[in-house]
């Protein structure tokens, strides 16, 4: 079951392998969400953090700036940026990315679904294997798009 993070689950971000330095408070609220995939009970299978921007960010700074800018402009950003994802269960990473995309397509004005991924072979293989297309490489990250 895909759902937003609940009160009392803030500790989950300590397991973020990509961006553990981003505090919980900067991951939720206007312009941002954290989604959790669970088994319908108490077992967490995966977590994904999303920022809503009006442009595809090339770094964390841009992502933060552009998600806040969309909020200040009274908009829900049209670009959902999946900036970190981790799983506790084989196949759950793929499942949470695809389910989050499907949910956001139905419930938000989001029209693009991109990543802000680290420059690792593991991230590249994960996104390409799961149907994303490579769109850009930057100084310290790369973007893939789920269409």
CATH number reported for the structural domain that contains residue 134 in this entry: 3.40.630.150
Partners of 2 in the beta sheet?
37
* CA 105 remoteness from chain centre: 14
Residue 122 structure tokens: 């593991």
51 in Cβ contact with 86 (< 8 Å): no
Query: Which tens digit of pLDDT belongs to each residue from 79-113?
Result: 999 999 999 999 999 999 999 999 999 999 999 99
Q: How big is the CA angle at 123 (ends 128 and 108), to the nearest 5 degrees?
A: 70
pLDDT tens for the chain, residues 1 to 147: 999 999 999 999 999 999 999 999 999 988 999 999 999 998 999 999 999 999 999 999 999 999 999 988 888 899 999 999 999 999 999 999 999 999 999 999 999 999 999 999 999 999 999 999 999 999 999 999 999
The confidence score (pLDDT) of residue 68 equals 93
User: What does the alpha-carbon distance between residue 110 and residue 63 come to, in Å, rounded to a whole number?
Assistant: 15
Domain count across the chain = 1
User: What does the alpha-carbon distance between residue 8 and residue 120 come to, in Å, rounded to a whole number?
Assistant: 32
Q: Which range marks the domain in which residue 57 is found?
A: 2-146
């Amino acid at each position: 079951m895909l759902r937003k993070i609940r009160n009392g689950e803030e500790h989950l971000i300590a397991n973020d392998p990509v961006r553990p330095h981003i505090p919980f408070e900067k991951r939720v609220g206007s312009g941002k969400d954290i989604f959790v995939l669970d088994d319908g009970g108490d077992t967490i299978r995966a977590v994904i953090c999303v920022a809503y921007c009006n442009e595809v960010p090339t770094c964390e700074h841009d992502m933060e700036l552009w998600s806040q800018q969309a909020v200040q402009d009274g908009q829900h950003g049209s670009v959902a940026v999946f900036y970190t994802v981790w799983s506790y269960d084989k196949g759950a990473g793929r499942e949470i990315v695809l389910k989050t995309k499907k949910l956001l397509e139905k419930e938000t004005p989001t029209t693009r679904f991109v990543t802000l991924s680290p420059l690792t072979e593991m991230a590249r293989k994960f996104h390409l294997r799961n149907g994303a297309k490579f769109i850009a490489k930057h100084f310290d990250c790369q973007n893939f798009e789920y269409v």
